[in-house]
Amino acid sequence: MKIRVRPWQHPTAKKVYWRATYIDSEGRTRDLTRADRAEAIQAASAVARTIHNGMVDLTELPPEKIRMVRAILDLSPTWADVERWGAERRMPKLGVRKAAEQFIAFKEKESSKGLTKHLKSMRSDLFVMAEEMGDETPLARVRATALAEWLDELDVGAKRRKDYRAACVQLWTWARRQELIVVSGEYTEPEKLPMPEVTKKDYVRVLSKEELVFLFKNVRQEFLPWLALGAFSGLRSGEMRAWNKPALDWSMVKLDRGHIDLPASISKTGRRRLVPISPTLAAWLKECKPPKEGPILREPAYEDETGRLGRLLDEHFKREEGWPMNCLRHSYGSHRVAQTQEIGKVAIEMGNSEKIIKDHYLEVRTEEEAEEYFNVLPGTIGEHNRK
């Protein structure tokens, strides 16, 4: 680009100046005037280079914008950074909590089962994250470093940290597809976090014999069947509860035939399962004086009872753990594998793959501990506080 410099005289002055007229990057006509021809040529050349290179002439900017440009240059940004910053400014400034709410609503609408237990759990995890990041903080401004600090400070095991990370990954992935955030590179912010290393111990929380006896002494009478079935058959709580499906009914418990006939409509795997009734379980079920039919578990009070039992366990055993998630099923699986030494058999009984049974329950308990566990019978626990 060339800018012509020519002599110019002000109408009211006798002195001759040198002037260059040009059109700037915004389409405005600008004049550059100098007293000396060499100075005018030098200034015009600098302007020509600026316009040709698409650069900003800092000398033409107000002081505040000059400081802003210098602050940005100190960050040594790449063109990808600049493009991302620009795109983020054009994005809707959706707060973290609002984004989580919209994501869960999207998943609920997408799911044929509505707001499932899994979605409720994910929503809870995302709300915890939102509170820490700041509910109103734009999702696009949350960085991996902040998420990493939050996860490190959580007083939870690797499995729970992995769950939190997974929930965040799903939220960010959804936001990216909805064009609510801009992602520079291949990975979203949560995906940049290292995957927590989860061991068998992190997955499995197994009750001791003393804890189990304590539970049988203190469980409310109406929840005795749930406790017995969970501890001595390995049924999932979700298979006993009416959670978007029929509830487990007493008519499915075949004491005379020695098994529970779990239909496909209730089984988590969607397949019918015949769950054996051990002598220990049979003794406890008879203690319940079961009716011929009717739901085994009263859904509305379930969360209250597990919360109450968790508090009692904490108080009695001097701990701060609450109700251990899936502890009844894990306890059964660990002791059953130790008792039978048959992974395939236990996998069929519990409705799991052999790999999961092996990874979670193999060598968690000894044969001696299993014998003690399955000898927790109604007549051996002493006085109880059931009402």
Name the range with the highest mean pLDDT among 125-129, 194-198, 242-246.
Answer: 125-129
d(CA 208, CA 171) in angstroms, rounded, equals 38
Contact 262, 236 (CB under 8 A): no
- The pTM score is 0.52
3-state secondary structure the chain: CCCCEEEEECCCCCCEEEEEEEECCCCCEEEEEECCHHHHHHHHHHHHHHHHHCCCCHHHCCHHHHHHHHHHHHCCCCHHHHHHHHHHHHCCCCEHHHHHHHHHHHHHHHCCCCCCHHHHHHHHHHHHHHHHHCCCCEHHHCCHHHHHHHHHHCCCCHHHHHHHHHHHHHHHHHHHHCCCCCCCCCCCCHHHCCCCCCCHHHHCCCCCHHHHHHHHHHCCHHHHHHHHHHHHHCCCHHHHCCCCCCCCEHHHEECCCCEEEECCCCCCCCCCEEEECCHHHHHHHHHCCCCCCCECCCHHHHHHHHHHHHHHHHHHHCCCCCCCCCHHHHHHHHHHHHHHCCHHHHHHHHCCCHHHHHHHHCCCCCHHHHHHHCCCCHHHCCCCCCC
Give the pLDDT score at 282. 94
**Which pLDDT score, from 0 to 100, does residue 360 have?**
86
pLDDT beyond 70 at 25: no
pLDDT at residue 336 in the model: 95
Write down the pLDDT at residue 199: 63
pLDDT at position 128, please? 92
Give me the long-range contacts of 77-84 (CB less than 8 A, separation at least 24).
80/184, 80/185, 81/184, 83/184, 84/182, 84/184
- What is the average per-residue pLDDT within 64-77? 79
**pLDDT over 80 at 338, yes or no:** yes
User: What pLDDT score was predicted for residue 164?
Assistant: 93
Q: Percentage of the chain surpassing pLDDT 70?
A: 89
Q: What's the average model confidence in pLDDT over 266-274?
A: 87
Question: Which tokens sit at 260?
Answer: 């529970």
Specify the higher pLDDT residue, 71 or 189.
189
Model confidence pLDDT, tens digit, residues 325-335: 789 999 999 99
Using pLDDT thresholds of 50, 70 and 90, give the confidence band for residue 345: very high
Mean pLDDT of 279-297: 89
Instruction: Give the chain's largest Cα–Cα span.
Output: 122
pLDDT (average), residues 277-290: 92
Residue 54, sorted as left (phi over 0), alpha (psi -120 to 50) or beta, turns out to be left
pLDDT of residue 141: 86
Using alpha carbons, select from 270, 311, 280 the residue that is nearest to residue 373: 280
**Residues 17-41, mean pLDDT to the nearest whole number:** 82
* Mean pLDDT to the nearest integer, 327-348: 94
Classify residue 373 as exposed, middle or buried by CB count within 10 Å of its CB (0-12, 13-18, 19+).
Answer: buried
Question: First and final CA of the chain: distance in angstroms?
Answer: 93
pLDDT of 93 reads 76
Distance between CA atoms of residues 202 and 188, nearest Å: 26
